[in-house]
Structure 1
Amino acid sequence: MGLLWHVLPYILLWHPLIDELQSTLCGVQQNVALAYYYCDYADKRSLTCAGLFSCIAQQLLRQKVELSESLMDMLDAIFPDETASASLGEIDTLLAAVINEFESVIVFIDGTDELPENDRNTTFQNLRKAVEVTASPIKLFVSGRADISYLFPISDKLAVVKVNIRKDTITSDINSYLRHSISELIRSGDLVIGNPSLEEDIFSALSAGAQGMFLWAKFQLDELCQLETDAAITKALRNLPRDLEETFDRLLQRVLGDERRELVKRMFNWIICARRPLHMDELREAIAFTVDDEYWDAAKIPNDLKRLVRVCGNLVIVDEETEKVQLAHHTVEQYLLHSHTSKLAYFHTTKQEANREIGEVCAAYLCFSDFETQVTRHNMITPNMVALQQVFNTQGVIPYSSAGVRHVAAVASVIIAPRKTGQHITSNIDFARHISKNRHPTEFHGKYCLLPYTKEHWLSHVESFTKETRQTTAGRLFRQLLFQKQFPFPHRPWDGFSLGESLLKCAIMGWAIAAGHLPILHELLAADGGAAFEYVARASHKFWKPLLNLGGKVTLVKIPERTTSCCWSLNNMTSENDCLEWLYVQILAAAQGGNFQVIQLVLDYGFTNSPWTASHIGAHSPLIASNVRAHLQLEASIHKQFDIVSLLSNSSHKIWASYERDGTYFTAVDAAMDCAEIELVSTLLEDGCPSSYRTSMRLLKEGEFTTAVLTERKTIVKAVLHGLLLSGTSRDPKNAQLDTFLDDAVFATL
């Protein structure tokens, strides 16, 4: 049973409640756990569904003194080593299992309106699923400006309580804020007035104009503090902007000078698209260079970033402690990404365009001639490994939420494993691999501050490159970084690949397919006549050869579900077979993630008549391709990627894949039926996908069979009757005598 509290709009009001619950209801003795998550617009790593669920799963794992054998086995299967990565589906399964380890679980999710729409929908679909499949009760507290209660339809397993905080209900809070802030600003000398009565005029004007917007009130106070006379303050109060957009317009109108405007625009782009908040020194270098720069030039770097920040009129802020730079509020980002027709259109952009420009800078930066001559590798390891081991064993380190898909459960299992036996077990993690190497004292002093960011995140930014980019300077640099450049530091995920040059492009392709990285796939397609795509056919042949009689014609292929898992990663493969097995699993991951463009490239170019395909598969290549298409469709349906299921149905090769479950089979029809996608169920049945006994019974009970009879949809009627005759047994769904009988039955029924 689940209970959802949904609060509109979100306010940071959870902290007292969380503290109270942790001190009263939660704990080892009560076996009640609490987890919380904040979607921070300033840190894009926190705005992913995978990061959210990883963080919650990790928090819950850390609250268990002892784990069950089944959960430990699941952790071992998902994370066979510290380099393993988990899919969203695996994280969902892990989270459900962890929740069932407790009597009940409480989860707070704050700032849900910050999530991109696709991630928001996926997040709440998976939260609903967690409520439905877990035996332990879940209490969800969700807050945000946007109304997402429609994503949580009330059911037998979920009760919803919605609290709507209207503008007029927070007027008193804004008034209290204004009273206190005006008084403090006058006392500190930041706001200077001559006539004491002007204090009340300021309060009245801002209170009337705020209309529930704390941020609007703050910006007006900041503006008033810049004025020198009572007359100027009075004039400003009579001409206050109507809303935040007009406020932002006025601030940007003050950015004068071509150089300054260009630097401010670059700064906005970087802050919006950076994968993590940037330090001031990183941002100074980021906005200094363009795709045409060939070396690091100190003369191009702004001398004082804070001057540019001040020019923006508080649209950009710097954290005084960390010196990280971010936008003042997520509404500033929305404003900058909003199309604009005035002279301020210069500052407005799209995420795609901004990310592409950043990708160009990252590619140019990594290709600087400096890094071919000045960067040296050192083998001195940061000392005091014992202290670091102590931190891990005492839970002193909690990995950041969205970095966790790769390491969350692995780190958690390392920490918790010693408790399971009550003994101290030395971790086998090679901490030296994850600790920065000592550098020569003068090697990077004041230089190359952006290098750590670019070598870690450049691939995510060049993902916005288009086919047209290939013909530009950025495209040339991109190819050099992919295939040619070698640095003393790793800059590609496959740099640890050890199976040699002959399989390297297979590794690159597998990574690109799993990541949905179209620019890399387009480069592989253009290189050597697309020879790298031959590995798709080789991996598919390896997977299907034991399962398929290549000389026969089978319309429903049964796959043991265990064959879709893989324990290999880029860094632990030992043979070509390992690499091919891993590649096929990455192809399945593209379907699980709903990336149709990647799937289309794989199917269009993975089975062309290459020398290897001609000699090893020959005329059976179309059959192998059809089976791969069917397998991808099945995986897409299981992971609720129903648009992909529909697109993959448009094929002349009507082969269907199924997983064997409990002595019967499970197809895309069953997955669609489980999610009440009745229209898709009908489409698949019309196309010839078999129906199981369970799905046929549901169609019969819900009246869909009757509808098919009345509308004379013979293919659906036959499929439903076929499924009913199976009666839950493992009888082969395709049998000539049974088909003849069913044809007669359909004729009689209609």
Structure 2
Amino acid sequence: MMEIAAPSSSAGTCPNPQASLQVAIQDFQSILTDGQRHKLRTIGSIRDAQSVMIFTAQLEHENRLAGRPGVSNRLSTVLESVQAFAGVVGTFVSSHPEIAALVWGSVKLTMLEEMQEDVRAVQQMGEEVKEEISLATARAQHEDEELQARERRAAFRDRSKMWKFLPRMEHDISAIKEMHEQQLRRKAKEERQRLLESLSSHEYRTPFWEACKKRQRDTAEWIFAVPEFKRWYDGSGPSLLWCSGKIGSGKTVLCANVVNHVFLHKGRHDTATFFFVDRDNAESLQAETLIRSIIRQSIDSTEVPQYLESRLTNLDHAVFVQLDAWIDLLRYVVQQSTAFYILIDGLDECDAAERQAVFDALSLLAATASCLRIFISSRESVDLDLRGRSLPMSRVSMSCDSLMSDIRSYIDTSLQKRLQNEELVFGDAHLLVEVNDALTQHADGMFLWVTFLIDEICAGSCDDDIRRSLRQLPKDLEETFKRALLRILSRAKHVELVQRTFRWVAVARRPLTLDELREAVSIDVGQTHSRPERLPHHMNRILLWCENLLHLTDEEPAQVQFAHASVRDFITRATLPGQLFRFHVDLRETDHFAGEICVTYLHFSDFTTTIARRQKPVQLNPVRLAVTALSRETNMARISEVVTHFASRRRKTMADPDFSRIEAKYGKSHDIGKETLQNSHPFLQYAATHWVTHTVHFEEKQCIIWDLWLLLVSGCSSLARIPWDRQGLLVWSHKTRHYALLRHALNFERQYELGEIYHLLKISATRGDSKAVAIFLETCTGSISYFDMLLPKVSEGGHAKVVDQLLGVGADANAAADEYRGQTALQAACGGGHLEVVERLLGAGADVNTAVTKHSGQTALQAACGAGHLEVVERLIDAGADVNAATAEVKQLRALQEVSSSGHLEGVVDDHLDRVLSGHLEVVERLLIARADADASGLENEGLTALQIASKHGHLQVVDFLLGAGADVNADAAPLEGLTALQAASSGGHVTVVERLLYAGADVNAPGAVVEGLTALQAASSGGYLQVVDFLLGVGAWVNATPAFLRGVTALQAASGSGHIEVVKRLLHAGADVNTAASRIGGRTALQVASDRGHLKIVELLLAAGADDDDAAT
């Protein structure tokens, strides 16, 4: 089970491989004699790890012969360093086979050293033999034989030494090979970790921990007893459980407790993930951040499947990744679990577009993965985002009743804590009871309000003040915030500092520390250098000066945030009254101001020594890294020479992003002063990182430090971080919606391919980004035909501003649709119910009766009717839309048939079913008023009338309405698989519709279509609808009605073939003929179809009822 715990404050440091190697070899040399060191220098370069090992073995041999102590006890330290160095040499092994020759050359050298004495002995013997020959020829043969014998003994001895030496070498080589393989595994592990960090580095746990700290003991437990939660958790209920509540009702704390509950009880093969949207962290407000974080949490970094690693690698290499790609990856991950939990808090804090993207993703996942369980806690406003979605959902409301016990406990604990800290003092002990009762009575289900009410009470200096506060408690949160601002004003001191603080806290991309905030509020736009004399004193009192509208996190260093998202909403709202308006924060204006401050700060003269044109990334050969480190030691120069020799043969260079960090350990870094700068300038890190995100809306005419900004964009500062490369500026600025950079890239950067610009323009237009579209249109000359093709896509999305922009550059509102499933702009807008876009297109001359395409096409009116958009329908009818025009050739439905069909509302959230259906009925009424033909059918041979369609889908209210308008209840079924209204209702098992049609005079025994037709009873029997079968038999349906001519079935044959044993029994009881002949073409008897499909119990029933068993064999 995954453990959720705060990270340790300490972390181990990685050893330096080069330094370790240097120390180990110095240690090794210290025990050598002068003669051995001389031999080391004369033997040649130590080329690799095996050279060191072989030389060590040689010294061990000589020391043993000389009786000196061995050196093998020092070998392990050397080998550990060699392991870190082996990867450098190993890089070249595959492409430089001469390395093997060097290794074996070392072996040969060692063997020669060991056999030197024997060689000298043999040479001496040879001299003696020559002398003996001159003295005694007679003894020559004898001496020669003796010499040969000695040579054989010496060779045997040497071979024995060699056989002893080789196994040891093989062992050493195997050990080095294993170390190399371990290094490869380590590198692969590091690469996987890098991929996961690239996937998501968002710190999702911090807001969760903060919420856990706020929970009082035994609170937020009530939800586990709620039936909706139990069904959600065990998978028997809908996949989405939505917990809704008002501001400050403790939703975040509740969600944190649910997270703990899920992790505590989930199964071994279940996966649990969570995400807490933090309004003070801009990154967490993005749908992509949420989805990527969920994916990251679900992946075990120790066991990343090959397929998943490959997908992550491809996405990591991509320049631009659409959100759909991340959703597709999440879908794959979800499907690997038995149960997959996604718990999200605070979605209401996100913008509408981001919420829409999240819910689109969740809807798609829920539709394709039955194991998915989603928990969302948010304000009631999310209800608008959930309407009309096919996302199965149950809802739990944080009502006052369910929270009352939690709030009582919270009040008791909070008051006791204030009393212990002497923030609250009572002279009269009974006053505690009065305060408790008053807070409980006024809490209104909001923990946040209780907190501020206690602050109000604590402000009293005596019992009288406290009782006065109880009588004048604010009526709601807004009044509470107003009182807090009035108290700030009444003190007069620190008002300007509080204003500046509110501005920075409201727009900061991440919460600022006290030191960062202290420096940020002291800077003015255009300032040339730091001014320490302007830094405010006692910044740790800022909470007191802000009347607790801010709070400090428990992190180290502490960060400054609003006490609650509702405080930020209040401060940024444009409705602050009178004198309080000076505290108002305009987010767009303040964000621009923050960008100017960051750019100003990065150009301080304090940093002059570090300002220089940014150099290209250092391109290094990996071996160069080893040379840099090893060459610092004189005794390692030989190794450095050999490595350099290898490096000179390798022409391909590679960039090492970590080189500056490694090099710094050897005193090579040119940025040593950065750490000192950071300590003396706390705001530097924030400004260097976030200057880009605060300058999204910069424009030359509205920015007094425009030229300084251009210098940063051009890479002329070594301090400012640039998150793009030169070739990727256009794509990066487009993806992040950085409009200033997008305009800069299109105006001043390299020329881009028109196809690339069109692609990016299409993305911006279809997501409704009118600001980006305006930039593209003002900087690029486009083809009108391209704008024509783009207009329907934009209209379908309801992006009225972008529609105006495209029409403004000449796009044709009547541009022809694609022949296959194409739409005109007006048809697309009507299908989405976008009345504002419809108005613009009609104003631009769009033809309301443009003909449909051949395949799957609809007129504008039909598209609006199909989705039940009454206002759009009325506007089109007023504009002259033909209510009886047919759809594409494939269906040929009329508007009335479309709306009757679209009443099919399976999957719509239950809370909205009545409202949606009511809207469809109003559309039906409006079409009938406009003289729509209630009895028109679709295709000549297989079409359905509006009444037949409504009956088929079981829409009783639509059926009632159509019958009241005079629709023919007995309109004939179409020849090819057609159905009468009664047959259609019976085929779906809609008993109430069947009753209504029969009451209206429907013919219970009307014949079915010629091809595969069914009577009402045959249709109900085929579907197994026993209640409908009983009802039809009760009103005189013929149990043995003749089947259709082509592939027809009797009622008994239909029930038998489908395996509906209860219906079979009911039909036999009603006198069904068990041996009725099959239809002339393609028919089967009841016994045959039951036998063929393996319904053995039905076969037994039929045989018992007298079925001819010969039929079963035919």
TM superposition shift of 1:641: 6.4
Q: 2:571 aligns with which of 321, 331, 336?
A: 336
CA contact (8 A) 2:599 2:691 kept: yes
1:516 corresponds to which letter in structure 2? Answer: R
**Match of 1:13?**
254
- Whether the 8 Å contact between 1:690 and 1:723 is mirrored in structure 2 is no
Relative to 1, partners in 2 of residues 1:635 and 1:301: Cα closer, same or farther, differing over 3 Å? Answer: farther
Contact 2:698/2:740 (<8 A) preserved? yes
Query: Deviation at 1:476?
Result: 4.2
Instruction: Tell me how far apart the structure 2 counterparts of residues 238 and 464 of structure 1 sit (CA, whole Å).
Output: 49
Structure-1 residue corresponding to 2:13 = none
Q: Deviations over 1:606-643 (max 9, x none)?
A: 12xxxxxxxxxxxxxxxx623543565577579x5654
The CA distance in 1 between the partners of 2:827 and 2:273, in whole Å, is 31
Out of 505, 514, 520, the position equivalent to 2:735 is 514
Deviation at 1:146, TM superposition (A): 2.0
Once the two structures are superposed, residues 285-313 of structure 1 have per-residue CA deviations (whole angstroms, 9 ceiling, x without a partner) of 11110103111121111232112332111
Residue 574 of structure 1: aligned partner: none
Describe the shift of the 1:647–1:93 C-alpha distance in structure 2 as closer, same or farther (beyond 3 A): farther
Asked if the contact 2:272–2:340 (Cα under 8 Å) also holds between the matched residues in 1, the reply is: yes
Structure 2 distance, partners of 1:449, 1:143, is: 36
Amino acid in structure 2 at the alignment position of 1:235: R
Question: In 2 relative to 1, CA 672–719 (structure 1 residues): closer, same or farther, beyond 3 Å?
Answer: same
Residue 235 of structure 1, CA deviation: 2.8
The answer to whether the Cα contact below 8 Å between 2:355 and 2:385 also exists between their aligned partners in 1 is: no
Partner in structure 2 of residue 78 of structure 1: 315
Question: 1:347 corresponds to which residue?
Answer: 583
Contact 1:637 1:668 in 2 (8 A): no
Gaps (5+ residues) in structure 2? 1-236, 246-250, 619-653, 665-670, 868-872, 893-938, 940-1114
**Shift in CA distance, 240/712, structure 1 to aligned 2, threshold 3 Å:** closer
1:326, distance to aligned residue in structure 2 (A): 0.5
Shift in Å, 1:188? 3.7
Instruction: Indicate the larger mover: 268-277 or 164-173.
Output: 164-173
Pairs within 5 Å for 1:270-281: 270-281=504-515
- Give TM-score scaled by structure 2 length: 0.47
CA distance in 2, matches of 1:447, 1:692: 72
1:52 counterpart (290, 295, 305): 290
CA 1:78–1:321: 2 relative to 1, 3 Å = closer
Aligned CA distance change for structure 1 residues 130 and 716 (closer, same or farther; 3 Å): farther
Q: 1:702 to 1:270 in 2, by over 3 A?
A: closer
**Aligned alpha-carbon RMSD (Å):** 4.5
> Does the C-alpha gap of structure 1 residues 443 and 288 become closer, same or farther in structure 2, counting only changes over 3 Å?
same
TM-fit CA distance, 1:279: 1.2
Q: Does 1:487 align with 2:717?
A: yes
Residue 193 of structure 1 contacts residue 230 of structure 1 at CA under 8 Å; is this kept in 2?
Answer: yes
Aligned positions of 1:376-415 closer than 5 A: none
Aligned residue for 1:391? none
TM-score, length-scaled by structure 1: 0.68
Cα displacement (A) at 1:247:
2.1
Taking the aligned partners of 2:854 and 2:598, their CA distance within structure 1 comes to 52
The 3-state SS of whatever aligns with 1:158 is coil
- Letter of the 2:737 counterpart: G
User: Which has the bigger relative contact order, CA under 8 A and spacing at least 6?
Assistant: 1
Q: CA deviation at 1:656?
A: 7.3
Once residues 216 and 314 of structure 1 are traced to their aligned partners in structure 2, the CA distance between those partners, rounded to angstroms, is: 13
Q: Does 1:367 align with 2:603?
A: yes
Change (3 A) 1:719 1:186: closer
Q: Higher mean Cα deviation, 163-172 or 72-81? A: 72-81
SS in 2 for 1:195: coil
Counterpart Cα distance in 1 of 2:803 and 2:302 = 42
Aligned positions of 1:117-136 closer than 5 A? 117-132=352-367, 134-136=368-370
* C-alpha spacing 1:20/1:150, structure 2 compared with 1 (3 Å): same
Shift of 1:653: 5.0
Alignment partners' CA distance in 2, 1:177 and 1:17? 18
Give the counterpart of 1:243 among 446, 467, 476.
476
Describe the shift of the 1:17–1:344 C-alpha distance in structure 2 as closer, same or farther (beyond 3 A).
closer
Is the 2:861–2:883 Cα contact (8 Å) retained in structure 1?
no
Matched, 1:313 2:547: yes
CA 652–352 in structure 1, closer or farther in 2 if over 3 Å, else same: closer
Distance, in Å, in 2 between the alignment partners of 1:103 and 1:666 is 41
Report the Cα distance in structure 2 between the residues aligned to 1:603 and 1:181, rounded to whole angstroms.
Answer: 59
- Counterpart in the other structure of 1:291: 525
By how many angstroms is 1:587 displaced?
Answer: 3.6
Are 1:90 and 2:329 matched, yes or no?
A: no
User: How much does 1:601 deviate?
Assistant: 2.5
Question: Tell me, what secondary structure is at the counterpart of 2:768?
Answer: coil
Cα gap change, 1:373/1:630 in structure 2, threshold over 3 Å: closer, same or farther? Answer: farther
Alpha-carbon distance, 1:55 to partner = 1.4
| Residue in structure 1 matched with residue 71 of structure 2 by the alignment | none
Q: Is the 8 A contact 2:527 2:600 kept in 1?
A: yes
Deviation of the 1:178 alpha carbon: 1.5
TM alignment of 1:493-642, pairs within 5 A: 493-494=723-724, 496-497=725-726, 508-521=729-742, 530=747, 535=751, 538-540=752-754, 543=755, 581=756, 585-607=759-781, 625-630=783-788, 632-633=790-791, 640=797, 642=799
The equivalent of 2:709 in structure 1 is 478
1:432-483 Cα offsets, whole Å, 9 max, x none, are: 289797734872263221122112212222224456514xx23443344334
Among candidates 264, 268, 274, match of residue 27 of structure 1: 268
**Conserved? CA contact 1:26–1:34, under 8 Å:** no
- Aligned mates of 2:252, 2:859 — CA distance in 1: 48
Aligned partner letter, 2:239 = L
Q: Kindly state the Cα deviation for residue 670 of structure 1 after the two structures are TM-superposed.
A: 13
Q: Per-residue CA shift, 1:543-601, capped at 9, x if unaligned?
A: 3xxxxxxxxxxxxxxxxxxxxxxxxxxxxxxxxxxxxx5x5554444235421222233
Report SS of the residue matched to 1:443. helix
CA pair 688-173 structure 1, distance change in 2 beyond 3 A: same
Q: Separation in 1 of the partners of 2:400 and 2:375?
A: 21
Q: Retained in 2: the 8 A contact 1:39–1:46?
A: yes
* SS state at 1:228 partner: coil
CA–CA distance in 2 between the matches of 1:477 and 1:222?
46
State whether residues 60 and 98 of structure 1, in contact with CA within 8 Å, keep that contact through their aligned partners in structure 2: yes
Would you say the 8 A contact 1:105–1:139 is kept in 2? yes
Deviations 1:14-42 (A, max 9, x none): 344434434544433xxx43221111223
Q: Percent identity?
A: 24
Q: Unmatched 5+ residue regions in structure 1?
A: 382-427, 500-506, 544-580, 608-623, 725-744, 746-750
**2:291 match: secondary structure:** helix
- Amino acid aligned to 1:224: I
Q: Distance in 2 between matches of 1:58 and 1:365?
A: 35
- Aligned mates of 1:722, 1:646 — CA distance in 2: 31
| CA deviation after TM superposition for structure 1 residue 710, in Å | 13
- 2-side partners of 1:109 and 1:280: how far apart? 29
Q: 2:551·2:560 contact (CA, 8 Å) conserved in 1?
A: yes
2-structure distance, mates of 1:289, 1:329: 27
Distance 1:698 1:686 in 2: 7
